[in-house]
């Protein structure tokens, strides 16, 4: 019987031509994954399956290799063999996964291949900068390439599914997972989400070097109250739709095959049981045709949320809301059959979930060849391939943001340099949180990488990241005294960012600031190099540093990238994708805020009863879009092609930018708008375009943008999506707080 079924499945697969290579470009979500031939093949497979086997396709267990949450089930092999677990995560390497795939293909009744998922977030073995760091590059080609290479390595290592991109907008740097996303802005995050999906999935999902993307965490996980992970999220539908949903949608419109639910509740309903999110919006409004997986045990957690009494009820809620696959919770495995028997879940709904999963196995080509991701030779060639390391170095350089510089940077080759601080000899910390299986054994620390430029170095750690031990200060001060310039490497260890790494204070720990102060007393110029995974409040440090470089966690080649930037081999070009407050108490602070009825203005006669703090300015320390270069750029001649336009006319915006320095450099020119009067209030600025341009020393370029009616739309008072006539301001510049301004009228 078993052999016969396997033969039938083979015949189904061979009965029509192979999976069509799919062009993956931005289309409406409904345009993807609706190949009728594949649907028919899935039907034929479903016809052979028992209910238990169908349920098995909705089950995802961790192999136990890597654990990213509570371990509930280490019996997964037994279930794989019985066809009751159709998908595995946290298993990788060809050797390991081949063994599991062989069991699924050769030892189960139907021989249906397994999916292998893993958190390939910013690289698999070759690690790229932390996602928030990559976002600082504002370079979509580089970001797509990083995802492409991650997929090449992951697929060579037996994987066919990554739990990325993380598309959660976050405006709360207390939340540790702000590090995994693209920052605070809707427009930039949409572009990055699409670039990452294109990179992971390539043009053809059935190619052996592409993997499925998973858009997560749906939805609004980035807005937990107080920045505390897993905490309640509550927002208006308008804010949800205008600010938080667009990046997920952009990723789905780029062809993402899967979506992951989030841990949080929204409007009182946890995401994994949220019909409004998973069915009304995702399926019915957006037309998503892939499958939905939960986040880790988040069906079970609905009991703790207090929306169901037990796990069985949780399974009912999740399945009926639209969850197709249960990650690690064992709820579907344990309860679906009974729920169907009791009439609480329709068997057709379970079949629909199984169909969606099987369909993706066809699109991946797993039914054509279950071992297509399991080639040892390819694994050897691809992991840490020199081209991948080169690309990682390139993105790392592009992701660094020069926050402040009085001319101390770039360094020249012959000075005596003191290298101080807990990050100076970082290796594993260069990789950052969510490095998954990225290896650090051959990672070069900033200290060692700097030797490439200058061997005249002194070193002192000075202190740890936290605590009160100042015993190392004296050595640090003495090294500083003997040097011409001091590089101080501060920040946070990688496990202070990421999941379950919320903080109530985003200032540097006092011990680190004290070290900086002690070194400052020597009077030597100080370059502060930061490695961290969230915006920091650096009010104290800006006053005692000559230059500050935000290096984020720059990845496998990060040490070299830092050295190249410090010594001017690479002219920094990164721009902040997120606001850096002065102090934690300003949070939430983001650039596209509302004006309020009592806006603060320095020129106003009224200074008390306005929207402000008593002892702290409203403005951030470093605004969204800020980032310096060793070049200097001057903007002039902002021009609009018309003073008035109608809804079907386009507006041309042009600006002149001059590199009035002696070094070639790259600048990201940013275009913002403000709709002055709306049926609901509008933000004071919204990003609507950007271009990264290279300008030779002394060169002037004219940069052109086109604004169309689409750029002026928003959710109006009645929740319809459209623009409204009236006055708009247009701003262009090198940061959200440094712009030229013009205006135009949108006519009816």
> Among all residues, which ones are annotated catalytic?
295
Residues 6+ apart with CB under 8 A from 186: 169, 242, 243, 246, 247, 592, 686, 687
Which of residues 131 and 573 has its CB atom nearest to ligand BGC in the complex? 131
Which of residues 295 and 675 has its CB atom nearest to ligand BGC in the complex? 295
Distance, CA of 348 to CA of 356 (rounded, Å): 12
Question: From the CB of 62, what's the least distance to ligand BGC, in Å?
Answer: 8
69 by Cβ neighbours in 10 Å (0-12 / 13-18 / 19+) ranks as middle
362 by Cβ neighbours in 10 Å (0-12 / 13-18 / 19+) ranks as buried
Chain residues 461-520 in contact with ligand BGC, contact rule CB under 6 A: 499
69 binds ligand BGC, rule: CB under 6 A: yes
Question: From the CB of 658, what's the least distance to ligand BGC, in Å?
Answer: 44
Identify the H or E element spanning 350.
helix 347-363
Number of residues that bind ligand BGC (CB under 6 A): 8
Q: Give me 206's structure tokens.
A: 């059935």
Question: From the CB of 715, what's the least distance to ligand BGC, in Å?
Answer: 28
Which of residues 264 and 532 has its CB atom nearest to ligand BGC in the complex? 264
Which of residues 91 and 250 has its CB atom nearest to ligand BGC in the complex? 91
Which is nearest to 437 in space by CA: 22, 47, 118? 118
- For ligand BGC, the binding residue among 134, 168, 184, 295 (CB under 6 A) is 295
Beta strands in 124-194 (DSSP E): 161-162
- For ligand BGC, the binding residue among 76, 218, 291, 296 (CB under 6 A) is 296
Distance, CA of 713 to CA of 17 (rounded, Å): 44
Which is nearest to 553 in space by CA: 562, 563, 544? 562
64 binds ligand BGC, rule: CB under 6 A: no
216 binds ligand BGC, rule: CB under 6 A: yes
How remote is the C-alpha of 612 from its chain's centroid?
32
388 binds ligand BGC, rule: CB under 6 A: no
Q: Which contacts of 706-710 are long-range, i.e. CB under 8 A and separated by 24 or more positions?
A: 706/650, 706/651, 706/652, 706/653, 707/650, 707/651, 707/653, 707/671, 707/673, 708/650, 708/651, 709/647, 709/648, 709/746
- For ligand BGC, the binding residue among 19, 68, 131, 209 (CB under 6 A) is 68
Q: Give me 536's structure tokens.
A: 């920091």
Cβ atoms 66, 51 nearer than 8 A: no
Chain residues 550-579 in contact with ligand BGC, contact rule CB under 6 A: none
Cβ atoms 218, 169 nearer than 8 A: no
Chain residues 144-203 in contact with ligand BGC, contact rule CB under 6 A: 163
Which of residues 119 and 541 has its CB atom nearest to ligand BGC in the complex? 119
Cβ atoms 124, 100 nearer than 8 A: no
Which of residues 216 and 688 has its CB atom nearest to ligand BGC in the complex? 216
Question: From the CB of 499, what's the least distance to ligand BGC, in Å?
Answer: 5
Question: From the CB of 187, what's the least distance to ligand BGC, in Å?
Answer: 24
Query: Could you give the C-alpha distances from 1 to 44, 48, 86, 111, 562, in angstroms and in order?
Result: 17, 11, 20, 12, 62
Which of residues 189 and 418 has its CB atom nearest to ligand BGC in the complex? 189
Strand partners, 700: 658
Which of residues 221 and 714 has its CB atom nearest to ligand BGC in the complex? 221
Question: From the CB of 498, what's the least distance to ligand BGC, in Å?
Answer: 9
Cβ atoms 262, 217 nearer than 8 A: yes
Residues 6+ apart with CB under 8 A from 522: 477, 480, 481, 486
Chain residues 114-143 in contact with ligand BGC, contact rule CB under 6 A: 119
Which of residues 58 and 723 has its CB atom nearest to ligand BGC in the complex? 58
Place of tokens 């080649």: 557
Question: From the CB of 323, what's the least distance to ligand BGC, in Å?
Answer: 15
Question: From the CB of 449, what's the least distance to ligand BGC, in Å?
Answer: 31
Region of 162 (left: φ > 0; alpha: ψ -120 to 50; beta: rest) is: beta
Question: From the CB of 305, what's the least distance to ligand BGC, in Å?
Answer: 16
Residue numbers of the site for ligand BGC (CB under 6 A)?
Answer: 68-69, 119, 163, 216, 295-296, 499
């Amino acid at each position: 019987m078993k052999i016969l079924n396997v033969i039938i499945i083979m015949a189904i697969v061979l009965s029509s031509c192979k999976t069509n290579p799919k062009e993956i470009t931005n289309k409406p979500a409904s345009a993807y994954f609706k190949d009728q031939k594949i649907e028919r093949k899935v039907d034929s497979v479903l016809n052979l399956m028992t209910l238990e086997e169908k349920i098995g396709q909705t089950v995802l267990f961790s192999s136990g290799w890597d654990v990213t949450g509570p371990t509930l089930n280490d019996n997964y092999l037994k279930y794989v063999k019985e066809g009751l677990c159709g998908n595995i995560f946290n298993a990788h390497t060809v050797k390991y996964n081949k063994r599991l795939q062989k069991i699924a293909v050769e030892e189960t009744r139907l021989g249906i291949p397994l999916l292998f998922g893993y958190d390939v977030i910013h690289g698999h073995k070759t690690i790229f900068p932390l996602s928030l760091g990559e976002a600082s590059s504002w370079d979509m080609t580089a970001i797509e390439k990083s995802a492409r290479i991650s997929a090449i390595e992951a697929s060579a290592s037996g994987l066919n599914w990554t739990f990325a991109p993380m598309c959660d907008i976050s405006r709360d740097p207390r939340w540790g997972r702000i590090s995994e996303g693209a920052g605070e802005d809707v427009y930039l995050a949409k572009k990055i989400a699409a670039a990452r999906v294109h990179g992971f999935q390539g043009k053809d999902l059935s190619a052996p070097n592409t993997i499925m993307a998973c858009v997560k965490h749906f939805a609004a996980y980035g807005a937990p109250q107080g920045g505390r992970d897993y905490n309640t999220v509550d927002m208006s539908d308008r804010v949800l739709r205008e600010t938080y949903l667009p990046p997920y949608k952009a990723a789905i419109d780029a062809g993402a095959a899967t979506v992951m639910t989030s841990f949080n509740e929204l409007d009182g309903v946890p995401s994994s049981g949220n019909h409004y999110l998973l069915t009304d919006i995702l399926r019915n409004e957006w037309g998503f045709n892939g499958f939905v997986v939960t986040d880790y045990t988040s069906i079970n957690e609905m009991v703790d949320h207090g929306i169901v009494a037990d796990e069985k009820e949780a399974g009912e809620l999740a399945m009926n809301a639209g969850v197709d696959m249960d990650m690690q919770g064992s709820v579907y495995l344990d309860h679906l059959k009974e729920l169907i028997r009791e009439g609480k879940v329709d068997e057709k709904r379970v079949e629909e979930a199984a169909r969606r999963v099987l369909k993706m196995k066809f699109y991946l080509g797993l039914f054509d060849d279950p071992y297509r991701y399991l080639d040892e030779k390819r694994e050897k060639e691809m992991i840490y391939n020199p081209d991948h390391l080169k690309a990682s170095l390139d993105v790392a350089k592009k992701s660094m943001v020069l926050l402040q510089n009085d001319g101390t940077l770039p360094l020249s080759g012959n000075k005596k340099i003191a290298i101080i601080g807990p990050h100076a000899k970082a290796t594993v910390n260069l990789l950052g949180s969510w490095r998954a299986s990225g290896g650090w054994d051959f990672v070069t620390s900033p200290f060692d990488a700097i030797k490439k430029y200058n061997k005249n170095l002194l070193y002192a750690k000075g202190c740890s990241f936290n605590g009160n031990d100042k015993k190392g200060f004296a050595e640090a001060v003495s090294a500083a005294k003997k040097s011409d310039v001091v590089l101080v490497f501060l920040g946070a260890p990688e496990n202070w960012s990421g999941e379950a790494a919320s903080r109530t204070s985003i200032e540097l720990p006092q011990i680190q600031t004290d070290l900086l102060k002690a070194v400052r007393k020597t009077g030597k110029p100080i370059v502060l190099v930061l490695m961290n995974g969230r915006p920091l409040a650096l009010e104290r440090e800006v006053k005692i540093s000559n230059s500050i470089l935000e290096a984020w966690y720059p990845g496998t080649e990060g040490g070299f990238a830092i050295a190249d930037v410090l010594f001017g081999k690479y002219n920094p070009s990164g721009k902040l994708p997120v606001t850096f407050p002065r102090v934690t108490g300003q949070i939430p602070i983001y650039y596209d805020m509302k004006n309020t009825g009592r806006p603060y203005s320095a020129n106003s006669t009224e200074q008390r009863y306005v929207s402000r703090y008593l002892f702290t300015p409203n403005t951030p320390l470093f605004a969204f879009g800020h980032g310096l270069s060793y070049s200097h750029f001057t903007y002039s001649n902002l021009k609009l092609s018309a003073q008035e336009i109608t809804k079907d006319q386009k507006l041309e915006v042009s600006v002149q930018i001059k590199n009035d320095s002696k070094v070639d450099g790259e600048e990201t020119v940013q275009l913002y708008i403000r709709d002055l009067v709306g049926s609901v209030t509008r933000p004071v600025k919204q990003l609507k375009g950007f271009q990264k341009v290279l300008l030779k020393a002394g060169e002037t370029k004219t940069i052109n943008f086109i604004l169309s009616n689409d750029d002026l739309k928003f959710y109006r008072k009645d929740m319809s999506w459209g623009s409204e006539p009236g006055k708009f301001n247009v701003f262009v510049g090198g940061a959200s707080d440094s712009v030229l301004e013009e205006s135009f009228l949108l006519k009816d």
